Amino acid sequence: MNSLMEVVGSLLVLTLSTLLLPGAYSASITIKNNCPFTIWPGALSGASTAQLSSTGFELASQASQTIDVPEKWSGRFWGRRQCSNANGKFVCGNGDCGSGQVACNGAGGAPPVSLAEFTLSGFGSQDFYDVSLVDGYNLPVSIAPQKGGCQSTICPKDVNTVCPQELALKGSDGGIIGCKSACMALNQPQYCCSGAFNTPDKCPPTNYSKIFKDQCPQAYSYAYDDKTSTFTCPAGGNYVVTFCP
């Protein structure tokens, strides 16, 4: 019969082995809706990572939902607005992912949408996260790491209230429910950082991107807005994404 010390030692080795297995650790991301209306958050994993267990769900005002994510994961969350079932098909007036269902099933949201983006790197590394308005804006949003010493990032203002008409997306009631990026609305290389403008030194901020930046200084306002918009935290913590923080 094995001694007590041998049994304890075997259990310890087994526990450590389990913890060190790739993918054994997972973080959690909690999605909160502080908006005064229902939203339908969507989730999309990056090309090299599997889709999450939930890729879309309904979230009433003041409700929240927590999703487990793998140790190493990249992806994004966004909020869909003005959604309903039409002729047996689920559709949204803003941020629709085209799946015809509440779940997005591997499809991204049609811009303009505010994005909460993550690259989780696993133990011993750094997580990267940001709020991006490169695809336009539809809702205020924040990312709060639940780990001491890590900085939150937030887009606190309603950009829709200052959105130029040429960028505005209007809802079924005629109100502005999204503000398109200048790239999406005008499709010109100086706004898309393409063609002759495809490097940081040749694609500076524009009058349009400055509108987004003035409202949300910590968020990406255009493609090369890295210096003030990318945040890091030692891997191994959880996060809270809040819409209408």
User: What pTM does this model have?
Assistant: 0.88
> pLDDT in tens for each of the 245 residues of the chain?
444 444 334 433 333 333 434 444 578 999 999 999 999 999 999 988 889 999 999 999 999 999 999 989 999 999 999 999 988 899 999 999 999 999 999 999 999 999 999 999 887 799 999 999 999 999 999 999 998 899 999 999 999 999 999 999 998 888 999 999 999 999 999 999 999 999 999 999 999 999 999 999 999 999 999 888 999 999 989 999 999 99
Q: Per-domain residue ranges for the chain?
A: 25-243
- Coil/strand/helix, residue 73: strand
CA–CA separation, 201 vs 243, rounded Å? 33
CA–CA separation, 26 vs 30, rounded Å? 13
Residues 6+ positions from 243 with CB-CB distance below 8 Å: 31, 32, 33, 34, 35, 39, 41, 79, 139, 140, 141
Chain Cα centroid distance, residue 48: 17
Superfamily of domain 25-243: Thaumatin (2.60.110.10)
